[in-house]
Every structure is written in C-alpha cells, then in structure tokens.
C-alpha cells in the first residue's frame, strides 16, 4: 500500500518549493521550464491533489449536497438528473443521501451534509430540518427546499415547488370534461403519519375545481396510504365510502407518483377497468405512462433539478421562491374528453 504523494514530495523531486507546485497546479505565474519540471514530477509520482485539504481553505467543499426522502418516485430521479448535469458543468460532485422517509433520518442527513461543508444543499425534507437549513443559509451555504415553501426565508434560502392548487384544478377540469362526477383521492403520508403539504394542497385545488363545477369532494373521499401495501386498503375505503354516499366512484386521482404502480395494480386486482369503470389520474410523468395510456399531471422535474442546482451555484442573495406550473398529459385513462360541454 504505497503512500500517497503529497505536494511536498512533488516539490522535493522537482527541486522547488511547495508554493511553486501549488502555483503551477492552480495556474499562477511560473516559468515554463520550472512548470515543466513540476509536471514531470507530478506525472512520475502520480500525484493526485487532495480536494479535502483544498476545501478547508475555501471554507467549503465543491460538492453539492442532496437529501431525498425516497428514490422510488419518478419525480426524484429526474430531479437528480437535472442537479447532476448542472453540477457536472460546474466541476461539482453530488453528495447524495436518502432518508427512507423517516423524519429523524432527515435531520441526521442534513447535519451530515453540513459537516461535510457542502457548497450548497438541496433537500426534500420536512419542517424538522428547517432550523438547521436556516442557519446554514445564514452561514453562507445556499439551501434549496424542494416541493415546499418556507415562511420568511433568510438570505440564501430558496424554494422550488409546484403550483399545487393549479395542479389540483387541472385534475378537476379534466375529470369533469371526461364526464366524471364522483372522485376519490389517494394521498401518501410518511412514517410519522404526516401527509406532505404538497399533496393536501393538490387535494384542495381539486376540491375547488370540483366545487366550481358544482361537484363535492367530501373528506371521506380522501384516503391515505403509507406504504405500497397500504394502497389496497385505501382504495377499498374509497370504494366503500362513496358507495355509502350514493353515487358510485367513477374516478380516482393519485396525488403522488410514488404510489402510481401500487394504485394501478390495486385497481386491476379488484377487476376494475380503466377507464370504463373508473377514471385514473396520477401525478408525475414516467417512462411507461404513454404505453399504458395513463393520463398524468406532470411536474417539470428535470428543470426543477437544474434550477435548484443553479441556485446553489449562482448564490443569489435575495431568497428565491420558484413555483412551476403543472401540465396535464392527457391520455386515455380518464376516458373520452367532451370539451365545450360546460
């Protein structure tokens, strides 16, 4: 296990001082001949500079930290892809941690990122980490909160989210245009039984949109699932509730992309046909949606990732709150659209 060469070793074999080596490595003014000798020594010793040590001078590393609650959602994959591309274009690496959807892990991971002195932090965590991210932002580490907004953010603390109300309204409009009138909603919650504000906002938007068209969305028409295996029960409760209240359920909207597969197969397992028996509408575009004919409300996740990373790189001083519009990608899972019916 050969010892690693240090800048001192390079300096010694090149017959110069460490300062000179540092200069040729980082582009200072050095005589061509000297530089050549140094490069030669670098090559011969296979010297690889220690980025860690460099960082302690810069005050922070060149890495962008990302804390994600759950990799399973198609939303996050594209988000990461967007972040990664911007990072690569800026000689940054991405340091990644997932929280397995547990609140206590969220604060541990954010803390770990802070200890690593990341150049900036992008998180999809809940309020529990706000204390630390605020402090980080105040301390000069730009932080970007994804899918949530924060009250009174300090300088350096930004947020990127979807216009969830608009997304909900979009769903309502589409469903009504497809002639549906009795809709059930599926939302997810984390292990601490907290449903994410984004999903409740979408539900609120849906409720507004429905109300504008004279349709109700009673509390009982909203079911919650924590894991994929809960989804079946949630769907059953939806079916039962609406049956009790008279009109049979004719549409289900899944408020999180993470549960799309589970919801879709739960429906299939119950012999329910899409869209004949029930219309199916879900969040987040995914690779097979077109093939399956599933209509989705898409977030521009890739773009959101890029923007997040750009905020980290560009470090605007004023807090930036970016809100993106959702797009309806209409396919066949909600049945025929009867436009101009209103």
Partner DNA sequence: CTGAAAGCGCTAACAG
Partner DNA sequence: CTGTTAGCGCTTTCAG
Decide if residue 319 touches its own copies (CB under 8 A).
no
How many CB atoms lie under 10 A from the CB of residue 41? 21
| Residues in region 233-292 near its own copies by CB under 8 A | 261, 264-265, 268, 287-288, 290-292
* Partner whose binding site includes residue 105, from its own copies, DNA, none (CB under 5 to 8 Å by kind): its own copies
Q: In Å, what is the CA distance from 123 to each residue of 145, 247, 336?
A: 5, 42, 39
State how far the Cα of 261 lies from the Cα of 161, in Å rounded to an integer.
24
CA angle at 274 for the pair 273 and 278, rounded to the nearest 5° = 90
Decide if residue 216 touches DNA (CB under 7 A).
no
Q: By the 8 A CB rule, do 124 and 147 touch?
A: yes
Decide if residue 49 touches DNA (CB under 7 A).
yes
* Partner whose binding site includes residue 17, from its own copies, DNA, none (CB under 5 to 8 Å by kind): DNA
Which tokens is 104 given? 């206590």
- Residue number, 50 or 192, with CB nearest to DNA: 50
Identify the three-state secondary structure at position 104. helix
Candidates 25, 95, 210, 252: give the one binding its own copies (CB under 8 A). Answer: 95
Least CB distance from residue 30 to its own copies, whole Å? 21
Q: In Å, what is the CA distance from 37 to each residue of 10, 12, 297?
A: 10, 11, 60
How many CB atoms lie under 10 A from the CB of residue 236? 13
Q: Which residues bind its own copies (CB under 8 A)?
A: 1-2, 4, 46, 48-53, 55-56, 59, 61, 63, 71, 77, 80-81, 84-85, 88, 91, 93-98, 100, 105, 109, 111-117, 135, 138-140, 261, 264-265, 268, 287-288, 290-292
């Amino acid at each position: 296990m050969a010892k690693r060469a240090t800048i001192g070793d390079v300096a010694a074999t090149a017959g110069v001082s460490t300062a000179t080596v540092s200069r040729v490595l980082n582009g200072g003014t050095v005589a061509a001949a000297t530089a050549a000798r140094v490069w030669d020594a670098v090559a011969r010793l296979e010297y690889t500079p220690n980025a860690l040590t460099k960082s302690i001078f810069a005050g922070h590393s060149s890495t962008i930290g990302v804390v994600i609650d759950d990799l399973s959602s198609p939303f996050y994959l594209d988000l990461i892809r967007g972040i990664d591309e911007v990072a690569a274009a800026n000689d940054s690496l991405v340091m990644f941690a997932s929280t397995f959807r547990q609140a206590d892990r969220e604060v541990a991971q954010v803390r770990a990122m802070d200890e690593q002195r990341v150049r900036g932090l992008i998180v999809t965590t809940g309020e529990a980490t706000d204390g630390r991210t605020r402090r980080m932002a105040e301390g000069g580490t730009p932080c970007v909160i994804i899918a949530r907004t924060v009250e009174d953010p300090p300088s350096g603390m930004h947020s990127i989210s979807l216009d969830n109300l608009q997304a909900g309204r979009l769903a309502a409009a589409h469903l009504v245009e497809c002639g549906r009138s009795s809709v059930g909603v599926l939302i997810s919650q984390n292990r601490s039984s907290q449903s994410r504000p984004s999903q409740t906002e979408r539900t609120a938007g849906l409720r507004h949109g429905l109300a504008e068209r004279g349709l109700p969305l009673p509390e009982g028409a909203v079911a919650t699932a924590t894991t994929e295996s809960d989804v079946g029960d949630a769907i059953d409760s939806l079916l039962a509730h609406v049956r009790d209240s008279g009109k049979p359920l004719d549409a289900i909207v899944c408020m999180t992309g993470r549960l799309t597969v589970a919801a879709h197969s739960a429906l299939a397992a119950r012999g329910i046909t899409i869209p004949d028996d029930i219309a199916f509408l879900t969040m987040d575009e995914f690779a097979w949606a077109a093939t399956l004919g599933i209509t989705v409300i898409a977030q521009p996740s890739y773009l959101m990732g890029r923007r997040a990373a750009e905020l980290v790189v560009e470090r605007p001083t004023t807090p930036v709150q970016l809100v993106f519009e959702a797009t309806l990608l209409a396919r066949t899972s909600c049945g025929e659209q009867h436009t101009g019916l209103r």
